[in-house]
Amino acid sequence: MSEKTSEEMRLGVRAGDDTHPSERETRAAGRDREAAEAAGGNPDGVDMAKSQWPESAAATGFVEKIRATLEMIKFQHTIFALPFALLGAVVAAGGWPEAGQLFWILSACVCARSAAMSFNRLHDEEFDRQNPRTEGWALPAGLLTRKFVWLFLVTMIALFVASAAMLNKLALVLSPIALAVLLGYSLTKRFTSGAHFVLGLALGIAPVGAWVAVRGELNWTPVVLGVGVMLWTAGFDMIYSLQDIDIDRKLGLHSMPSRLGRSRALAISALCHSLSIAAFGAMLLLTDLSTYYFIALVACAWLLVYEQSLVKPNDISKLPMAFFTLNGWVSVLIFAGGLVDILKAR
């Protein structure tokens, strides 16, 4: 591996390393174990045919399982789609939805996302185990068992369908389609570099589903908002994928950066973000959104420009801020601006 490639891998790992300290310790233990085995030793007498991770790695207590599960599904990333789902619900209701509707919308969003992330972790475990950035995640590190994650997945799917049923008939009828998109995303990286847009679609259906939950019908207004979310998500996912460009090529996985290179992928990401702002702006023509939403939209446009400026083809050291912090503010600001406008219009 060239010196430049090694440096890029080092930056990529550091930029994407949001793992818990205990997971990093487990990762280090696994590497020490491999080194010992390569030298012909077995440092702790563990039967490696049965367990390739230290026994202490397993999350045995209830609190430890909860923490490992939340880390597995990256619960903090709920900040990306949930505000848009709430915006779709608020616009559909012309204010806050009824308490019961709001509860079941939140339940459906959390359960759907948890199911999608669990399936992704199960389906991609073999790849996560080979990626230095992800080898410390719950399944590769042995913090959770596949049996536990499968049980969690089935539970989340059941709760999602139940939540949809509690909302209205159309929400229930559309729930299998939503699940197909959410779970199907995990398959796409194996055969298309357009996987970013499928992930975007998975997040983009959140405001559409919330609209259906409130009104029991579908029209173009939430679809336009969903398209904006899809393009915005695809744009930041291309940036996120920069840190895995080398391992994706090695494992035969597809992404815009691995197919087109860093510079072209960043250009497409910028185009997606520009089009997402246009889609979000179209909501001003379709709804009662006005001044505060427009101010929030201008602020978000600036944030996305700033995000693009932080990441360079030869420097992704600021990727954590570009990916999580700025995009978290985008979703929150757009929701906040829309909420104020809707409440003022009542």
216 in any annotated domain: yes
Range of the domain at 265: 65-345
Q: Is the pLDDT of residue 75 over 90?
A: no
105 in any annotated domain: yes
Strand-pair partners of 312? 315
* Measured distance CA(244)–CA(249) in Å, rounded: 9
5 in any annotated domain: no
Q: What is the pTM of this model?
A: 0.81
Number of neighbours of residue 266 by Cβ within 10 angstroms: 22
- Calculate what percentage of the chain has a pLDDT beyond 70: 83
* Measured distance CA(43)–CA(33) in Å, rounded: 7
147 in any annotated domain: yes
* Measured distance CA(257)–CA(248) in Å, rounded: 9
Q: Residue 167: which CATH number?
A: 1.10.357.140
18 in any annotated domain: no
What is the residue whose two structure tokens read 């899809």?
230
Q: What is the pLDDT of residues 133-173, one digit of tens each?
A: 999 999 999 999 999 999 999 999 999 999 999 999 999 99
60 in any annotated domain: no
37 in any annotated domain: no
What's the total number of domains in the chain? 1
pLDDT of 79 reads 86
Question: Both tokens of residue 230?
Answer: 């899809």
Q: What is the pLDDT of residues 194-210, one digit of tens each?
A: 999 999 999 999 999 99
pLDDT confidence tier of residue 188, bands split at 50, 70 and 90: very high
